[in-house]
Structure 1
Amino acid sequence: MKSKLTRRTLLRGAGATGLAALAAPAIIRPAFAQAGELNVWSYSGFITDDFRRRFEEESGIRLNIRQVSDQGEQFNLMAAEEGNYSADIVCCAGHRFYQFVDAGFLEPIDMGKMTAWDRIEPEYAEATWVSRNGERWGVPLVVVTTGLLYDSQQFDKPTSWDVMFDPANAGRTTYQIQDFFQIAMNYLGYDGSAASYMDDPEQAQQAVNATRDFLIEHKGQVRRYYEAATEIQQMFVNGDVALAEAGSGPSAQLIIEGFPAGYTIPEEGGLAYAYGFNITRNATNLDNAYTFLNALLSSSENGAEIVRSTGYESVIAGTGEHLTPEERAVLALGAEERSRLSWVDVETAPFIFDLIDTAAEEIRAA
């Protein structure tokens, strides 16, 4: 598995090798079956082999799937196509889709055609991050969280991010600066989402500067800053680190593979953002796109397949019923921990990310 865990790129979930396929019910009623095809740009694990087989058999629609690995890659490809998009559906991150919307690449979701929208968990179906300018612009599929990964042989379940700054743990921690920065802002009592700073850029800059200085002051705690998720896993396996800011996907995969680790959202909180499918403007196969999206959401068994293939939480209601207790412990956060998550704010993301990027370079150079 090769993946890069930052807010600007998407983790590529490892395939569900060695996992038994689920026996799932029909996902499309024959009355709605259509002929034709659908062109989808997706990330690994979001469309499982079992779902693809069932969907094509029951709908008569052939899925042409192009694997992509980066939001910037998708954006540049769509820009180059100048409105003649080769994809009917693309997969956008919840904290980046505003760029695709503002560039005119996407079509707002016609809720009258989304017959399976009620299969999305309410906390995700009504979330603000699926909307912009009064329209819904995508169908959420999985939720990625950023929390604390720890070696469970060396630590009991930590309740605070304090452990990352405890001198006793110097040289045993790692984080990706930009992703950890918003968590550190929240830890210090600032607004990591920057939503409260929308009308006060000077206050935002002060919060960023204070957080930057704090992280520079505690730079000696860090074994090294990571960029790719595989680096976290390797550092844990090698015994180089015992604590990390990490995403839910690589954390779950490390635990599933048998490493003695745990993943939690400390009391000061963590971050969350979603990935989903979006319809391109003037999509050639528009009806087939809605058939696909409704089928994707209609099966909670499919939600469990996606969870297993990516390590991410599914937004599809009832998914947890198809996971074993052991799988739920690794692949699903409880309600209490979910309540501690801060969602990346779509409207403030552009300006706060720019401030954080500058601060990150200053931290590296310090």
Structure 2
Amino acid sequence: MTNILTRRTLLKGAGAAGLTALAAPAIIRPAFAQSNELNIWSYSGFVTDAFRQRFEEETGIRLNIRPVSDQGEQFNLMAAEGSNFSADIVCVAGHRFYQFVDAGFLEAIDMDKMTAWDRIESEYSNANWVSRNGRQWGVPLVVVSTGLLYDSSQFEEPTSWDIMFDPANAGRTTYQIQDFFQIVMNYLGYDGSAVSYVGTPEKAQEAVNATRDFLIEHKSQVRRYYEAPNEIQQMFVNGDVTLGQAGSGPAAQLIIDGFPAGYTIPEEGGLAYAYGFNITRNAANMDNAYAFLNALLSSPENGAEIVRSTGYSSVIAGTEELLTTEEREALALDSDERSRLSWVDVETAPFIFDLIDTAAEEIRAA
């Protein structure tokens, strides 16, 4: 269960895309781990304490969990390990997994061993982000949106991202640069997905440069750029900010915990993507990895626990029926808001994210 937030308490359990570490992570053993262990790199809340206890008691397999805080950091750590990966399972974002696949870090999913695949909602089990080159490379787990988080005691529901750049709100806004960048591209009339720029990289560069310059011009609006979701949550709780670009998980947790917050997808749109678990190439504990994945997907109870620990929507069928009315309302977006979400395109992500990452560093340095 989540904790009641006050100005004096630290938040526990955050969402993905820069999530906080587990409180007491087990030490990851090297790739020659014994067969009764499984080494997992995971965002906080994806493997709940309750599931971990059940799984270990029922299977005798010990879960060694190392916290993930950033996709780039995880990629670099795996690259440094060469082909002798210390993790059997890693947690990769749907819009970034192509990097791990193309680098040879992941094992294609053996669908004959995925006995619980039918427990995934079909909308997500058939999504293109879990496949590449005609094969499945990941097991989807949660769905994330990126929108506008606001202090509902200070504002009525905003309809436009204009509010983030209004001088009246200077020093009261925050965002994660890379996550906000594509939204601002769309806000300025460019194609944040970069799909229309395929084959014309110079146009993509022009759009990125213009967006970079706009964000630098409005840099004085920002109280502080954040990285981990617990940072934005704490800034709202402390009263440091009243507006921010945020993931749906941190926003839902604030709402469920009683903070006067609202979350919406403004008229210029927001982003959607997913996170899942992936098996590493030549994983030392391959059989244990499939036992874990099938157990995790097998029950909507596991999905409900993940929702409560992360604030994100679970892809496990039947999860919604186990949530309270308050939890469902905190996670819900109306049909108009959902229609304004754009899924991050997997195939165009390779070149647009490289450009955005460079622009983000230039914004920080400006």
Q: Give the structure-2-normalised TM-score.
A: 0.84
Q: Offset of 1:353 from its aligned partner?
A: 1.9
SS class of match (1:109): coil
Q: Is the 8 Å Cα contact of residues 11 and 249 (structure 1) preserved in structure 2?
A: no
Say whether the 8 Å CA contact 2:175–2:244 is kept in structure 1: yes
User: Could you say if the C-alpha distance between residues 283 and 213 of structure 1 is closer, same or farther in structure 2, counting changes exceeding 3 Å?
Assistant: closer
Structure 1 gaps, min length 5: 16-34
Aligned to 2:182: 182
SS of the aligned residue for 1:149 comes to strand
- Alignment partners' CA distance in 1, 2:22 and 2:75: 23
Letter in 2 for 1:207: A
CA contact (8 A) 2:174 2:225 kept: yes
* 1:325 to partner: Cα distance: 0.8
Q: Which moved more, 1:68-77 or 1:246-255?
A: 68-77
Query: What is the letter of the counterpart of residue 144 of structure 1?
Result: V
Residue of structure 1 equivalent to 2:165: 165
In the alignment, structure 1 residue 11 sits paired with structure 2 residue 38: no
**Amino acid of the structure 1 residue aligned with 2:271:** L
1:1-366 matches, within 5 Å, as: 10-12=18-20, 36-366=36-366
* Deviation for aligned residue 1:68: 3.4
1:36 CA displacement: 3.8
Q: Could you list the runs of 5+ residues in structure 2 that have no partner in the other structure? A: 1-9, 24-34
Alignment CA distance shift 1:195-1:56 (3 Å)? same
Q: Are the aligned partners of 1:251 and 1:263 in contact in 2 as well (CA < 8 Å)? A: yes
- Over 3 Å counting, the alpha-carbon distance change for 1:286 and 1:239 in structure 2 is closer
For 2:62, the aligned partner's letter is R
Cα distance in 1, alignment partners of residues 334 and 119 from structure 2: 19
TM-score, length basis structure 1: 0.84
Any conservation in 2 of the 1:107–1:281 contact (CA below 8 Å)? yes
Q: Distance in 1 between matches of 2:344 and 2:204?
A: 15
- Is the Cα contact below 8 Å between 1:187 and 1:268 reproduced in 2? yes
Task: Write the distance in 1 (CA, Å) between the matches of 2:310 and 2:15.
Answer: 16
Asked whether the equivalents of residues 39 and 64 of structure 2 are also in contact (C-alpha less than 8 Å), the reply is: yes
Task: Give the secondary structure class of the aligned counterpart of 1:87.
Answer: coil
Quickly say closer, same or farther: Cα 1:174–1:82, change in 2 above 3 A: closer
Distance 1:348 1:310, change over 3 A: same
Displacement of 1:234: 3.4
Query: What amino acid is aligned across from residue 193 of structure 2 in structure 1?
Result: S
Q: Secondary structure at the match of 2:112?
A: helix
- Say what the alpha-carbon RMSD is for the aligned residues: 2.8
Deviating 4+ runs (over 4 angstroms): none
Residues 39 and 360 (structure 1), Cα distance of their counterparts in 2 relative to 1, 3 Å cut: closer
Identity of aligned residues (%): 81
Structure 2 Cα separation of the partners of residues 75 and 316 of structure 1 = 27
